Chain A
Amino acid sequence: MQIFDIYLLEALINGILLGGVLALLALGLNLIFGVIDVVWICYAELIMIGMYAIYFLFTVYHLPFPLAALIAVAAVGALGALLHYLVIEPLLNAAPINQLLATGGVLFFLQSAATVAFGIDFRNAGIRLPVLNVAEMYISYARLLAFGAALVAMVVVYLFLTRTYIGTAIRAIAQDRQIMPLMGVDSRRVYFVTSAVGGALAGLAATLLVLQYDVHPFVGLSFGPITFMICVLGGLGNMIGGFVAAFIFAEIISLGGLYSDLEWGYVLAFAFFIVMMFVRPQGLLARRS
């Protein structure tokens, strides 16, 4: 019984660590949706590009990791802004289904482009961080680091949204976009900044995920669906809902995987999602009607 409790505790802790990273993923997507009212279906593919960026900068060109990470964050941020400028802005007044299809097109474009450019090999950034042994539990240092960085990033985003004018405008525009000109706000600029921030968050997520996962053109499929489910469960565009839902999903995955392997945790999480869609289709903390 003693040994079982330790496994349970270890799974709980790992669930919390996973939750932090999932919450970061959900935050970027929710930010974009809440402000621009567009779902970036290709969000996880931006992360994939970021992971390749770090792989090449750090593993192939031997830049120091912090510098490689910084460049990746900036580059994916620029990619987010570019995505907005080239794809979203021309479709702002189009039907939502067309916007969805367009970002879906970007998803396949990025996957194929990565396949052509980098091949389908799994590449490992070759960063071996130690596994900590605390009170007979095994806690991965990479996960701990990812969790800590995700929390710091979320606090920074929170401060940005609450303490700066542009951040306040980002929250305001999600509530009433029509009257923004009366405040002297150029909505197009706010969308652009939001897209860059959303992209930068994807870049940061890439930095944290590359510590734990191999890079390949389809790696986005490992994070994309779960991120969407978290956002939908939390209420699309609701950042606090997304935060809570991320930890619920992470614990289901982690505790569900306790009895057999981790894949079962995912099966349980998806099943939970389907049930919740019947029970609370509007999300845990409903916001939009």
Chain B
Amino acid sequence: MLELKSVGAGYSAFQALFDISLDVRHGEAVAVIGPNGAGKTTLMRVISGLIRPQKGAIAFEGRDLALTPAHRIVELGIAHVPENRRLFARMTVEDNLRMGAFMPAARARFRQRLDFVFDLFPRLRERRDQIAGTMSGGEQQMCAIGRALMSEPKLLLLDEPSAGLAPVIVQQVFDLVRRIRSGGLTVLIVEQNVQQVLKVVDRAYLLEAGGIRTAGTSAELLESKSIREAYLGV
């Protein structure tokens, strides 16, 4: 479904990703783990088009993403929940969700998508007229995920959805990822919370210093000595 081949990318003079090759198959949930500054967020941005690759190829369902204008990538079925949520904090929940349905195909199905998101997050239905920035961190994260789901994506990119949330809420976020998956959506998730995320995904890549260090199934990574020492603290 998604395939990166030898991708290099970065910010003007600074290269953050080197020779990344990665693939996500239809219906899978895949995690990207790694320390701070490894390039995980950059990887998500290069997939959704916020930054363009300097080298290599990115294909989604056979289409070359490097040739697709950034604002058209969401139309192909890729929705990106950015790091730190990035809600439109001074707009209402409903306006935020409306922005998620900006593209013409999603506009036409706005009502249905709104019902879908509200069924997934009943909290958001209660708060639809509230200013997004005044909600709790967990509610804001739901709103950010809801906004991404408004476009009816095939692939959902989640960048550290559990960051900064209380433990109970973190649990809810991972439950949610499980539910979204079972609905047939393909998920690529970046997480610091390695122990938890490996329980909900099929496979994972370990990113370090802009390169892929290791890849494997969740079970393999949970048993790997180096991962256990570095990321699971055991």
Q: Mark B39-56, 1 if CB is under 8 A from A, else 0.
A: 000000000111000000
List CB contacts (< 8 Å) of A81-123 with chain B: none
Enumerate chain B residues within 8 angstroms of A181, measured Cβ to Cβ: 48-50, 70-71, 73-74
Report whether A176 and B69 are in contact in the complex, using a CB–CB cutoff of 8 Å: no
The reply to whether A168 and B95 form a contact with Cβ atoms under 8 Å apart is yes
Residues of B within 8 A of A (CB-CB), count: 29
Measured between C-beta atoms, what is the minimum distance from B35 to chain A in Å?
24
Knowing A175-B89, A179-B50, A184-B151, the reply to whether A168 touches B98 (Cβ < 8 A) is: yes
Stretch at the interface among B99-107, B112-120, B168-176: B99-107
- Is A169's CB within 8 Å of the partner chain B? yes
- CB-based contact B91/A172 at 8 Å: yes
From B79-87, B185-193, B221-229, give the one contacting chain A: B79-87
Complex Cα spacing A273 to B207, Å: 55
Counted as pairs of residues, one from A and one from B, with CB atoms less than 8 Å apart, the total is 63
A185 on the B face (CB < 8 A): yes
Complex alpha-carbon distance, A165 and B102, angstroms: 6
In the complex, are the beta carbons of A171 and B74 less than 8 A apart?
no
| Interface contact B102-A169, CB-CB below 8 Å | yes
Residue of B with least CB distance to A179: B86
Docked complex Cα distance between A176 and B79 (Å)? 17
- A183–B88 Cα gap in the complex (Å)? 11
B26 at the interface (CB under 8 A from A): no
Q: Encode A164-178 as 1/0 by CB contact (under 8 A) with B.
A: 010011011001101
A183, B90: Cβ atoms closer than 8 Å: no
In the bound assembly, the distance between CA atoms of A180 and B49 in angstroms comes to 11
Instruction: Check: B72 CB closer than 8 A to any chain A CB.
Output: yes
Q: Which of B69, B99, B151 makes the CB contact (< 8 A) with A169? A: B99
Within 8 A of B (CB), among A123-180: 165, 168-169, 171-172, 175-176, 178-180
Shortest CB–CB separation between residue A175 and chain B, in angstroms? 5
Complex CA gap A179/B88 in Å reads 10
Q: Which residues of B contact A183 (CB under 8 A)?
A: 71, 74, 99-100, 102-103, 147
The B-contacting residues of A in range 209-265, CB under 8 angstroms, are: none
**When the two chains form their complex, are residues B74 and A182 in contact, meaning their CB atoms are under 8 A apart?**
yes
Which B residues lie within 8 Å of A175 (CB)? 88-91
Chain A residues contacting B49 (CB-CB under 8 Å) are 181
Q: Determine whether the beta carbon of A185 is less than 8 Å from that of B71.
A: yes
B103 touches A184 (CB 8 A): yes
Per the bound structure, the CA–CA distance linking A176 and B132 in Å amounts to 14
Contact yes or no, A171 B69, CB < 8 A:
no
Chain A residue numbers with a CB within 8 Å of B103 are 183-184
CA distance A178 to B80 in the complex (A): 13
Q: Is B3 an interface residue (CB 8 A)?
A: no
- Report Cα–Cα, A243/B110, bound state, in Å: 33
Residues of A within 8 A of B89 (CB): 175
A176 contacts B71, C-beta separation under 8 Å? no
* Also in contact, A182 and B80, with CB within 8 A (given A168-B98, A169-B102): yes
**Closest CB-CB distance, A183 to chain B, in whole Å?**
5
| Contact (Cβ within 8 A) A179 B82 | yes
Nearest residue (CB) in A for B73 is A181
Q: In the complex the two chains form, what is the Cα distance from A169 to B104 in whole Å?
A: 13
> Is B88 a contact of A182 with CB atoms below 8 Å?
no
Bound Cα distance from A6 to B98, whole angstroms: 51
Residues from chain B with a CB closer than 8 A to the CB of A180 are: 71
Given contacts A175-B88, A175-B91, A176-B88, contact A184 B74 (CB under 8 A): yes
Q: Given the complex of chains A and B, what is the CA–CA distance between A169 and B100 in angstroms? A: 10
In the complex, residue of chain A having the shortest beta-carbon distance to the beta carbon of B133: A175
B19 at the interface (CB under 8 A from A): no
Bound complex: CA A164 to CA B131 (Å):
18
B208 on the A face (CB < 8 A): no
Which residues of A have CB within 8 Å of B106? 184
A285 to B75 Cα, complex, angstroms = 38
A178 touches B50 (CB 8 A): yes
Contact at B99–A186, with CB atoms within 8 Å?
A: no
A278 to B183: give the CA distance in the assembly, Å: 58
State A89–B232 Cα separation when bound (angstroms). 49
Q: Which 7 residue pairs are nearest across A and B when measured between Cβ atoms?
A: A184-B103, A181-B70, A184-B74, A181-B71, A186-B71, A172-B88, A175-B88
**Interface residues of A, Cβ cutoff 8 Å to B:** 165, 168-169, 171-172, 175-176, 178-187
> Known pairs A169-B99, A178-B50, A181-B50. 11 more at Cβ < 8 A?
A165-B107, A168-B98, A171-B88, A175-B88, A181-B74, A182-B80, A182-B82, A183-B74, A184-B72, A184-B74, A184-B103
24 residue pairs bridging A and B, Cβ less than 8 Å apart: A165-B98, A168-B98, A168-B102, A171-B88, A171-B91, A172-B95, A175-B89, A175-B90, A179-B82, A181-B48, A181-B70, A181-B71, A181-B74, A182-B50, A182-B82, A182-B148, A183-B74, A183-B102, A183-B147, A184-B72, A184-B75, A184-B106, A184-B151, A185-B102
